[in-house]
Chain A
């Protein structure tokens, strides 16, 4: 999880991502940042995203992102 927060902070410095539950809904991550985030996550966790994974619910909190990553790792 720390690694994920580190990645998120490299895109949006100064945001306390662990405390957020509406990261996409509140506009902290927009579709431009998500494009970059996907590349970073694919490299870091050796996973491959599908378009159907790109829904706000999967990116609204660090927990949701972690859950998605674990699912994609399987």
Chain B
């Protein structure tokens, strides 16, 4: 069931009706039942993988709880020294248990999603050693949102281990958190502590919240159907037959792909968040105008925010508190003379795991690993050269608040992101380098633009849509504390409905849909 299809909205409407008509105590059961229906309709028998993951983290969390309770009940009988020893033992036992649960859950993901990466690496080595044999790729169908629900399940059990939340006794409530249909397709990565209470409290129908949710859905549909899908037609034509196009057309298509991906992904998140708000449930924020970022670090704090937070909480922090990180830290202190290097090297070590995980999360292929490491490398170069950049800035009397300099930084970040997106879009690493070479072959961008427009003149609608999104982005940047839909909702009745009418008209007139159109999947749904 595609999120832009009429069936999806009919489904949401029915769920909404039942949700607000039944006794409020049972609202969460409606969400659970609808999530199950949605999951089974999308994944069929593969739903068992999601159920297995839920069962493991549910049982695992109770196991952790029981282990801790046993210690607590015996604590009083022990003297101080014995208590210290027992506490140490408890800590070790808890760590082993949570590691076993996480490895089991992640193991399912690895086997299903990453076995072909193993085949790809094995075949690469076969080629390197000139062995005349190649392994065949496995043909595996993945259940809906496997990476999303697996990582959310891991976050649940890890939070129980850390004492951030208590283990949930009702397995159905854990199942609802893992399978909640709005966030299962493309995230965001919610945390149990943020959603469980919202699922538990009664939700009275609130007309204003309902309308604001609808505005968000509309905004998401505009991004997806008017911009992303419209750009997608031209982008696909150019990248599917790159040899038939000029270098400048490749460059323009790369920028278009970056915008397509942004509108596709953030549009989906807007639809998801809007639908969730119809039930009175707020999911986590996933985008904050990423193209206004002045550095790569900032970009990743604004793009797919919840993935960054997940990696920080469950990869970066455990690494920086680990024994091996401390060993690297000590090594740097002992062997490096520069204070700057002593600070950078240990952090670089920890961040390597974060960016490797980021790359791996995006897909089971070497190009995705390279995609993660591309950002890692750029960040590390930036960190290593920080003193040099500071010196240059001081010499040129450039201050941080300088607006032309800020614009330069934004454009530089946009360029870096576009190169990353080209790698992301390329079928293989080899093709990425071929496309880079081709892009540098000519600089006749006027001809390139004409070439792009010739493929589909209707791409112009998408460009107008981009201007609208850009203007809204500027308003959002200036009003960081107020949500855009609240800003719209504060306007007088006429203005508010003109705004809605504008978006509805644009979607109906310029959106990609109708007979013969097969609603394209959301790009991030494949993860």
- Using CB atoms and an 8 Å cutoff, list the residues of chain A in contact with chain B: 10-11, 30-36, 38-39, 42, 49-52, 54
Contact = CB atoms under 8 A, between A and B. Distances in A.
Contacts of B325: 35, 39
B339 A10 contact: yes
- In this complex, which of A11, A33, A39, A52 has the most chain B Cβ atoms within 10 angstroms of its Cβ? A39
A30 B318 contact: no
B326 A52 contact: no
B297 interface: yes
Given A50-B162, A51-B317, A51-B318, 14 more contacts: A31-B316, A32-B343, A32-B344, A32-B383, A35-B350, A36-B342, A36-B346, A38-B320, A38-B321, A39-B325, A39-B329, A42-B326, A49-B321, A51-B321
Contacts of B329: 36, 39
List 3 tightest A-B contacts by C-beta distance, closest first.
A32-B347, A35-B320, A39-B329
B67 interface: no
A39 B330 CA distance: 9
Interface in B284-332: 297, 312-313, 316-318, 320-321, 325-326, 329
B102 to A, nearest CB: 14
B271 interface: no
A52 B164 contact: yes
Q: How large is the interface on B (under 10, 10 to 19, 20 to 34, 35 or more residues)?
A: 20 to 34
B400 to A, nearest CB: 11
Contact of A51 (B162, B343, B350): B162
B387 to A, nearest CB: 11
Contacts of B321: 38, 49-51
B162 A30 contact: no
A52 B343 contact: no
A32 B312 CA distance: 11
B346 A39 contact: yes
Contact of A11 (B326, B343, B350): B343
Contacts of A30: 297
Contacts of A33: 343, 347
Given A49-B321, A51-B321, A35 B164 contact: no
A38 B326 CA distance: 10
B346 A52 contact: no
B163 interface: yes
Contacts of B164: 52
Contacts of B342: 36
Contacts of B64: none
B351 interface: yes
A35 B346 contact: yes
A51 B313 contact: yes
Contacts of B162: 50-52
Contacts of B346: 35-36, 39
A55 B329 CA distance: 21
Contacts of A34: 320
Nearest to A38: B320
B312 A39 contact: no
